[in-house]
């Protein structure tokens, strides 16, 4: 066996403990179990995962780099609270990147991937029917991540993971109505276009999907309520 026995260099989240912590906290944030602004104490998380603060700190720093956690010097880590300006940037970036991702995904489409996609749609529909809001939110983001994985473009995938995580926080903060089932039909339509290898239609559907999500947000001027809150607290 002269082949490289190296253990999957492209497996960033393997069995190491820091990744488990990172994924646990990420999942909690994505499922809206941890609300923006929540303090993430190192001891607290360390106790939960039975790990030392060294590992917790490493995980939190990664999450900070991904933009879903803010680390304030000498104060600790908090779940990020994206501003409306952040929200606009996130969706602008997604509108730019995701059509290219579906384009590449269609190039790389295969029966195995279509199966995964179909399976995901089923899961998503089931979660919605059963009214499981947490699962719906998580699966809704995972659809986009799945398409990015299909594309085989690791950089786009990495970028999109960040954008999806932040989108989840944004939707939680700024959604107008309680419309958790906003995009399941869109996802099915996009998947159908991918299956038919219709790049133009898939890209257009993705774009309108993103536009609709953003349109349902209430993005007032850049930090209005935050400033008001600061004034109340400070004065």
Site for its own copies, rule CB under 8 A? 2, 4, 9, 16, 58, 61-62, 65, 70, 72-73, 86, 89-90, 92-93, 96-97, 100, 153-156, 159, 163, 230-231, 234-235
Q: Determine, following the binding rule CB under 7 A, whether residue 57 of this chain makes contact with DNA.
A: yes
CA–CA separation, 149 and 169 (whole Å)? 22
> Distance between CA atoms of 207 and 195, rounded to whole angstroms?
17
Measured from the CB atom, the residue of 92 and 185 that comes closer to its own copies is: 92
Tell me which stretch binds DNA (CB under 7 A): 25-33, 51-59, 106-114, 218-226: 51-59
When CB distances are held under 5 to 8 angstroms depending on the partner's kind, the choice from its own copies, DNA, none that residue 8 binds is none
> Burial code of 111-125, b = ≥16 C-beta within 10 A, e = fewer?
eebeeebeebbeebb
CA distances 167 to 29, 82, 100, 224, Å, are 11, 9, 19, 20
12 near DNA (CB under 7 A) = no
Binds DNA (CB under 7 A): choice among 13, 16, 92, 115: 16
> Which residues within the stretch 67-86 sit at the binding site for DNA (CB under 7 A)?
71, 73-77
Q: Does 222 bind DNA (CB under 7 A)?
A: no
Min dist. Cβ of residue 76 to its own copies (A) = 14
Report if residue 51 touches DNA, rule: CB under 7 A. yes
Rounded CA separation 216/62 (Å): 30
Q: Where are the alpha helices (DSSP H) in the chain?
A: 17-30, 42-49, 53-66, 84-107, 111-129, 133-151, 154-174, 184-195, 199-215, 224-234
Closest CA to 134 of 16, 13, 30, 3: 30
Cβ closest to DNA, residue 16 vs residue 92: 16
Instruction: Identify what 22 binds: its own copies, DNA, none; CB under 5 to 8 Å per kind.
Output: none
Q: Which CB atom, from 112 or from 232, has the smaller least distance to its own copies?
A: 232
How far separated are the first and last CA of the chain, in Å rounded? 71
Q: How far is the CB of 124 from its own copies (least distance, A)?
A: 27
């Amino acid at each position: 066996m002269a082949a490289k026995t190296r253990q999957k260099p492209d497996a960033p989240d393997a069995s190491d403990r820091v990744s488990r912590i990172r994924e646990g906290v990420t999942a909690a944030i994505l499922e809206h179990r941890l609300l923006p602004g929540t303090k993430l104490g190192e001891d607290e998380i360390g106790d939960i995962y039975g790990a030392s603060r060294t590992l917790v700190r490493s995980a939190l720093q990664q999450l900070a780099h991904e933009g879903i956690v803010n680390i304030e010097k000498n104060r600790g880590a908090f779940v990020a609270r994206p501003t409306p300006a952040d929200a606009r940037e996130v969706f602008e970036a997604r509108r730019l990147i995701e059509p290219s991702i579906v384009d590449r995904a269609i190039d790389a489409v295969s029966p195995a991937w279509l199966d995964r996609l179909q399976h995901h749609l089923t899961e998503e529909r089931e979660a919605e029917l059963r009214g499981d809001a947490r699962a719906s939110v998580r699966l809704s983001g995972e659809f986009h991540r799945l398409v990015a994985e299909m594309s085989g473009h690791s950089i786009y995938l990495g970028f999109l993971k960040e954008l999806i995580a932040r989108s989840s926080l944004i939707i939680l903060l700024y959604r107008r109505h309680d419309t958790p089932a906003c995009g399941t039909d869109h996802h099915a339509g996009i998947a159908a276009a991918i299956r038919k290898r219709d790049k133009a239609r898939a890209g257009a559907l993705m774009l309108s999907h993103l536009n609709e999500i953003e349109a349902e947000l209430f993005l007032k001027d850049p930090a209005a309520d935050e400033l008001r809150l600061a004034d109340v607290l400070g004065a």
